[in-house]
Amino acid sequence: MKPLNKKRIAKVFGAYVLSMFLGGVAVNAALGTNVFNVPFVANASDMDKFADKLQCLMESRVKAINIEHSDITGLKSITRKRRNKSEETVNTNPNASFASYKHQPLPPVPVEYQGVLNDEKRAEIRAKITGVAKQYLGRPYVYAAKGPNAFDCSGYTSYILRQFGIMISPGSRYQATQGRHVDLASAKVGDLLYFSAYGKGGVITHVGLIIDNAADGITVIHANGPRHGIMIENVTKSSYWRNKILFARDVISGDSKAALAER
């Protein structure tokens, strides 16, 4: 809220006096009274009183809408409320990272497989997928880009899997309903790892392709925003990503009927 300096008070007070004067003109004209016989003198005391009233009015309006002076847009308050709601969900439901998301009303989008997907083929995909994914290291991140010259996060994962005849949605929220849910400890190379910028229990905002799951954490290759593009990162050790990890999905090990049944 801007401070009330003398110049600003004078402008507002001047407008106030003018409105009072014009109102008086209208009333007296209606009554047939000579307007200029009605004295109106504004002294310093009047201005001080008016400034006090104006200050109280402005402060009461700010308090009424319940936002911080440093957050006049209200965006900080909205984000804080969302995070608090997410934390409450997790505290009351230890499985909220997956359970709260799977009940969101998204239409099912089945995985499509080109060709025969037997055990030998699945093992071959997991053995080769990291090498194929690394071919695009350093490519730029562009929102909604699906490759091959630029990608967003879900555009990248869908593009890599498509090279192996696995057709999944290009959107991360839909991808998160496809395939089979797997525990983080059991996630394998080629599985997809999902994140939420709002923390545990939040909606999906990011996805990466797992290329290693070892004692020191889960490593993914992902389209990590405009600053980094396609890069490899141990997200378990990342101060930014580790608290945003939600769950993993396996779209290589079978059809999507299991995923639809889970919902």
Residue 111 has pLDDT above 80, yes or no: yes
Task: Work out the percent of the chain whose per-residue pLDDT is above 90.
Answer: 50
Q: Which two tokens mark 38?
A: 């009605």
**Average per-residue pLDDT for the chain:** 77
The more confidently predicted of residues 62 and 168 is 168
Over residues 213-234, the mean pLDDT reads 97
Q: Which two tokens mark 124?
A: 């071959």
Indicate yes or no: pTM above 0.75: no
Q: Quick one: DSSP state of residue 146?
A: B
pLDDT digits (tens, 9 = 90+) for 17-66: 677 666 665 656 555 555 455 455 556 666 666 666 666 665 555 444 44
Position 79 confidence tier, pLDDT thresholds 50, 70, 90 = low
> 157-165 — which CB contacts under 8 Å span 24+ positions?
157/192, 157/207, 157/208, 157/209, 157/222, 160/129, 160/132, 160/133, 160/136, 160/209, 161/129, 161/251, 161/252, 163/132, 164/125, 164/128, 164/129, 164/132, 165/113, 165/114, 165/115, 165/117
Q: How high is the pLDDT of residue 75?
A: 59
Position 78 confidence tier, pLDDT thresholds 50, 70, 90 = low
Q: How far apart are CA 151 and CA 143, in angstroms?
A: 7
Q: Is 228 a catalytic residue?
A: no
Q: Which is nearest to 181 in space by CA: 254, 124, 238, 89?
A: 254
Residue 204 has pLDDT above 90, yes or no: yes
Residue 202 has pLDDT above 90, yes or no: no
Q: Is 69 a catalytic residue?
A: no
Q: How far apart are CA 222 and CA 157, in angstroms?
A: 8
Over residues 223-249, the mean pLDDT reads 96
Among residues 103, 181, 222, 228, which one is catalytic? Answer: 222
For residue 4, list its beta bridge partners: none
Q: How high is the pLDDT of residue 42?
A: 55
CATH superfamily of 91-262: endopeptidase domain like (from Nostoc punctiforme) (3.90.1720.10)
Q: Which is nearest to 153 in space by CA: 168, 29, 64?
A: 168
Residue 109 has pLDDT above 70, yes or no: yes
Amino acid at 72: I
For residue 39, say if its preceding peptide bond is cis, omega within 30 degrees of 0: no
The more confidently predicted of residues 89 and 78 is 78
Q: Is 56 a catalytic residue?
A: no
Q: Where in the chain is CATH 3.90.1720.10?
A: 91-262
Among residues 56, 103, 181, 206, which one is catalytic? Answer: 206
